[in-house]
Amino acid sequence: MKAFVVERYGGADTVHASEVPEPLLGDHDVLVRIHAASVNPLDIKTREGELKAILPYRAPFVLGNDLAGEVAAVGARVTRFAIGDEVYARPDQNRIGTFAELIAVHQDDVATKPATLSMQEAASIPLVALTSWQALVERANLRPGQKVLIHAGSGGVGTIAIQLAKHLGAIVATTTSTANIDLVKDLGVDVVVDYKRQAFETNLHNYDVVLDTVGGATLQNSLRVLKPGGKIVSVAGPPDPAFAEELGASPVIRLAMAALSFRVRQSARRRHVTYSFLFMKASGDQLREITALIDAGTIRPVVDRVFAFESTREALAYVEEGRARAGKVVIRMK
């Protein structure tokens, strides 16, 4: 089958179209013929080897973390799906490879595609929606009436997290550029900070939760907007000891992660708030919850641009260079 393969860790020239063997199907796996996939910043970081301590893939490997498609075959012990079912998924972190014609995914990580979405729209959802759910519902326990700041509201995670937070009854603020103010307001945002003209840390106060998708100085400054007892959940900041323990990392990696996150954890303690790093997990059960919200009209995808499968390298470059205006970039199979 055709796939886009990372030949070695590095820059854009390390990804090539190749012929690779069709995936092996385990007893609990569904074989999905992929109709569409989407590009995430995670794909760029994976290709460059930034996450080797967390995700030690052995090159060559197929890239890609989101998919929508049709079940082509099922393993002997699969009970949830049948051939012909339309599905979508974020495969487990150890079984990525959606920039391909076929992929085998454990049935527990798969959900029926939302009936109201096209394949291309559905492919834009899994990773960012699961990230939003695990950050706001599981980690932050966001409740009605609480105030949440979601950074980069026009991004892939931001566009979904805003809608989920409004569904949960929160008061939502976001940072975005001037060009995307109308978009985030349409998604339901209550307070918009134009990061090119305003400093969010001087405009926002007494927030219960921050969802950080940027890291760096944005993460540090976000501590200032939280009230005592507040929580900041970051998908872009340094991994913390709790994540290292969850990962089952070696003592050396645990020490390294503790050192990397020491400054932000210390700053958080001084302000009587908590910091946690989130690396989202695959979950078909959570995707089913999200599907219900999508089909009810509570959450809708935001797609910036669609590329043909043959142009996967161009799609990666488009995301890497920051040319996407809002939402997700999608790859369409023939």
pLDDT in tens, 151-176: 999 999 999 999 999 999 999 999 99
Q: Beta strands 67-74 and 29-39: pairing type? A: antiparallel
Report the number of secondary-structure helices (H) and strands (E) in the chain.
11, 16
The model's pLDDT over 293-323, given as tens digits with 9 standing for 90+, comes to 999 999 999 999 999 999 999 999 999 999 9
Residue 244 has pLDDT above 80, yes or no: yes
* Confidence band, pLDDT 50/70/90 cuts, at residue 253: confident
Q: Do domains 2-124+302-332 and 127-277 have the same CATH topology?
A: no
Domain-wise residue ranges, the chain: 2-124+302-332, 127-277
Q: List all residues 6 or more positions away from 154 whose beta carbon is below 8 Å from its beta carbon.
A: 176, 177, 180, 183, 184, 302, 325, 326, 327
Q: Is the pTM of this model over 0.85?
A: yes
SS3 240: coil
C-alpha gyration radius of the chain: 19
Nearest by Cα to 63 from 23, 96, 21, 104: 96
Domain 2-124+302-332 in CATH: superfamily? Answer: Medium-chain alcohol dehydrogenases, catalytic domain (3.90.180.10)
Q: What is the predicted pLDDT for the residue at 250?
A: 86
44: its two tokens: 């760029």
How far, in Å, are 52, 142, 197 from residue 55 at the CA level?
A: 5, 29, 37
> Mean pLDDT throughout 169-185?
98
> Mean pLDDT throughout 201-212?
98
Specify the CATH number of the domain 127-277: 3.40.50.720
The model's pLDDT over 66-116, given as tens digits with 9 standing for 90+, comes to 999 999 999 999 999 999 999 999 999 999 999 999 999 999 999 999 999
Per the prediction, the chain carries an average pLDDT of 97
Residue 334 has pLDDT above 80, yes or no: no
* Confidence band, pLDDT 50/70/90 cuts, at residue 249: confident
Measure the CA–CA gap between 222 and 215, rounded to whole angstroms: 10
230: its two tokens: 């507040």
